Amino acid sequence: MLIEAGHFALALALGLSVIQCAVPLWGSRTNDSVLMSVAGPAALAVFACVAFSFAALTIAYATSDFSVLNVVENSHSSKPFIYKLTGVWGNHEGSMLLWILILTLFGAVVAVAHESAPERLRANTLAVQAAVTAAFLLFILATSNPFTRVSPAPFEGQDLNPILQDPGLAIHPPLLYIGYVGFSITFAFAMGALIDGRIDAVWARAVRPWTLSAWVFLTLGIAMGSYWAYYELGWGGWWFWDPVENASLMPWLAGTALLHSTVVMEKRDALKVWTILLAILTFSLSLLGTFLVRSGVLTSVHAFAVDPARGVFILAILVIFIGGSLTLFALRASLLKQGGLFAPISREGALVLNNLLLATACATVFIGTLYPLALEALTGAKISVGAPFFNLTFIPIVVPLLLLVPFGQTMAWKRGDPLAVAQRLAAAFGLALMVAIAALAVTLGGPVAAPLGIGLGVFVILGALTDVLARSWSRGQPFAVVLRRARGLPRSAWGTALAHAGLGVTVIGIAATAWSVETIATIRVGERVAAGPYTAQLEAVVPRTGPNYRENVARFTIWRGERELGAVETMKRLYVTRGMPTTEAGILTVGLSQAYISFAEARPDGAVDIRFFYKPLVLLIWGGAVVMALGGALSLTDRRFRVGAPARARSAPAALPAE
């Protein structure tokens, strides 16, 4: 009964979202504020319906209701309870439902929190958001209904793909979806403004918190996915340039560009047309990502089920929304007045360059991801574009961008003084150079790219801190004054510094991977094998039984010289229901580095094959992403984003050089 109610709630949500789309749009055309005010309550009602339907599916999973096809195919009564819950989005239908849930949640938040946004903008925005919701609800009802029943109900389910039974999976999709779908709000705002034909700094200020929060979640989601692949797939890699990964990287790159261009628009009323275009492109890339991942065009862990009807449907949604929004953009873009002049060498100029490089980097990823698909569709030739392509195209564009980050951050608005900026950054640059040279000297004969990359990362970090320091410190001031000034800096300044520093941290982590060592060996109990400075000793190989799997456990102790660092276990598991083997890597964290062992194979004579990695500073890769996200979150708490917060009169004007 609950299942049917959940299904019905979805249909009801579809009807309501059509109302949420049509009525406010009509209202804004005819200037009828009663019609426009329908948008808010309708958005809340749609969210309530979708939330109910999601809860119904979750209950079906929690109680292992095998009369529901989706539960039968993806769950098992002996599966640990937590994975019964996360299994809700471990399949195509459920993950689309989660997608819509987050979409409508954002709509509801706009409805509640945006009392202060101009009435017309808010009505138009919610209407556009409702159009996206309606399209995806139609998709789920027509091609991917999670509430289909089976009769007679089987006694047992077929279990979830074992590599998805993992805590990483529990949080990766929701984080990523909040990011993806969060950009739908920016998109809806852009469309709303285009429908209205008016766009200004107020618009930029209203949009920025949404862009920022979507970006924060997308950053965390990508980092989580990368870490999951690192420890779960047992190959020790953290990024594979897999099309599915690229599908999430592209909106991130475009979203990062958008984040920076809205700053220019908010502060200087410039780059309007470009910002609107970026808002459209970012969400379009999110939709493209959903299409690539969900349509079965690509085969990967994400393509749960291949059904051509779904692919065609999502493609249609893609064409309608991207085509429609770009058409509207083409019609209305000429109405947008260009504002704010600035010199090429200025904060604005640096941000334009940032956008240019980010957009170009995004374009190379786009080409590398879609070229094989296009070529196969056109000529039938099958090719694969892998890491070598992206290393050759993406890295040469990103390295100059990283070098420029500290300069842009230190540059003044309107007209910058390159000499003063160079002076300010001289210390950071010198220190970074020294670090690079020291690293080069210590690892003489090793890869050269690693020390250079580390120097670059240090420069980005120090450059980020230099900016904060320069804004609070001046010669001859007592320490207390400096501290007070630093505290008085806007939170967004600290957020920027933190996010940029996080970027530098990630760069260091990535650079250090050049020093990682992989050893493949066949080893018996009592024997040792070395990788880099670590040695692993096999202690025992024992069988064990888990709730829904059997496994062979290899126990190791990890040594550095004669000092024991700790013990790890690596497992070869067999999930009984699906008859599917998986490898669970054994990872020992030592400071920021890791020793990583994965069980390759047990031999009949008792020896085991293993892969043993030394991964220096590897945690910095994801740690940096977390710092970036923290920086974004800190910016989000900035005073000027708190809706309705009165502007604070600065009693003691803090020294903000050149602003």
Partner 1 sequence: MTRKQRRLAMIGTALAVLSLALGLVLYAMRDTIVFFHAPSDIQAKGVQPGTRFRLGGLVKEGSIKRGEGQQVTFEVMDAGASIPVRYQGVLPDLFREGQGVVAEGVLETSGRFKADTVLARHDETYMPREVADALKAQGHWQGEKAPGKP
Residue type, 615: K
Our CB check for partner 1 shows the closer of 152 and 561 to be 152
Structure tokens at 510: 């990535």
Among residues 383, 422, 448, 645, which is the contact residue for partner 1, using CB under 8 A?
Answer: 383
Give the distance from CA 410 to its chain's centroid: 27
Our CB check for partner 1 shows the closer of 581 and 657 to be 581
The interface mask with partner 1, positions 389-428, x = CB under 8 A, is x--xx--xx-------------------------------
State the residue for tokens 């908010």.
Answer: 266
Q: 3-class SS at 646? A: coil
Under rule CB under 8 A, residue 505 binds partner 1: no
Under rule CB under 8 A, residue 520 binds partner 1: yes
Q: How far is the CB of 181 from partner 1 (least distance, A)?
A: 25
Our CB check for partner 1 shows the closer of 8 and 235 to be 235
What is the Cα gyration radius of the chain? Answer: 27
Q: How far is the CB of 595 from partner 1 (least distance, A)?
A: 17
Residues between 267 and 306 that touch partner 1 (CB under 8 A):
299-301, 305
Question: What is the maximal distance between C-alpha atoms in the chain?
Answer: 83
The stretch near partner 1 (CB under 8 A) out of 14-22, 328-336, 349-357, 420-428 is 349-357
Under rule CB under 8 A, residue 168 binds partner 1: no
Our CB check for partner 1 shows the closer of 274 and 559 to be 274
The residues facing 161 across adjacent strands are none
Q: How far is the CB of 462 from partner 1 (least distance, A)?
A: 26
Residue type, 266: E
Under rule CB under 8 A, residue 527 binds partner 1: no
Among residues 15, 41, 80, 154, which is the contact residue for partner 1, using CB under 8 A?
Answer: 154
Q: 3-class SS at 612? A: strand
**CA separation (Å) from 644 to 188, 454, 639?**
22, 43, 10
Under rule CB under 8 A, residue 150 binds partner 1: yes
Q: How far is the CB of 540 from partner 1 (least distance, A)?
A: 21
Under rule CB under 8 A, residue 381 binds partner 1: yes
Q: How far is the CB of 603 from partner 1 (least distance, A)?
A: 9
Q: Exposed, middle or buried, 537 (CB in 10 Å: 0-12/13-18/19+)? A: middle
**CA separation (Å) from 656 to 178, 468, 469, 489, 609?**
35, 10, 11, 8, 61
Under rule CB under 8 A, residue 601 binds partner 1: yes
Under rule CB under 8 A, residue 48 binds partner 1: no
Our CB check for partner 1 shows the closer of 298 and 568 to be 298
Q: 3-class SS at 234? A: coil
The stretch near partner 1 (CB under 8 A) out of 104-112, 315-323, 450-458, 572-580 is 572-580
CA atoms within 13 A on the CB side of 5: 10
DSSP string spanning 302-348? T-----HHHHHHHHHHHHHHHHHHHHHHHHHGGGSPP-----SSSHH
Structure tokens at 136: 């995806």
Distance between CA atoms of residues 516 and 514, nearest Å:
6
Eight-state DSSP code of residue 97: H
The stretch near partner 1 (CB under 8 A) out of 212-220, 532-540, 552-560, 576-584 is 576-584
State the residue for tokens 């007592």.
Answer: 478
Under rule CB under 8 A, residue 326 binds partner 1: no
**CA separation (Å) from 347 to 421, 450, 456, 504?**
11, 30, 21, 20
Among residues 522, 537, 557, 589, which is the contact residue for partner 1, using CB under 8 A?
Answer: 522
Distance between CA atoms of residues 160 and 507, nearest Å:
36
Q: Are 17 and 41 in contact (CB under 8 A)?
A: no
Q: 3-class SS at 174? A: helix
Q: How far is the CB of 482 from partner 1 (least distance, A)?
A: 37
Our CB check for partner 1 shows the closer of 586 and 631 to be 586
Our CB check for partner 1 shows the closer of 347 and 424 to be 347
Q: How far is the CB of 510 from partner 1 (least distance, A)?
A: 19
Under rule CB under 8 A, residue 367 binds partner 1: yes
Q: How far is the CB of 578 from partner 1 (least distance, A)?
A: 6
Nearest in space to 252 (alpha carbons), one of 219, 225, 280, 223: 219
Structure tokens at 1: 């009964």
Our CB check for partner 1 shows the closer of 301 and 626 to be 301
Under rule CB under 8 A, residue 161 binds partner 1: yes
Among residues 31, 334, 382, 591, which is the contact residue for partner 1, using CB under 8 A?
Answer: 382
Q: Return residues touching partner 1 (CB under 8 A).
A: 69, 72-73, 150, 154, 158, 161, 163, 233-235, 299-301, 305, 341, 343-344, 349, 352-353, 356-357, 360, 363-364, 367-368, 371, 381-386, 388-389, 392-393, 396-397, 520, 522, 572, 578-583, 600-601, 609, 611
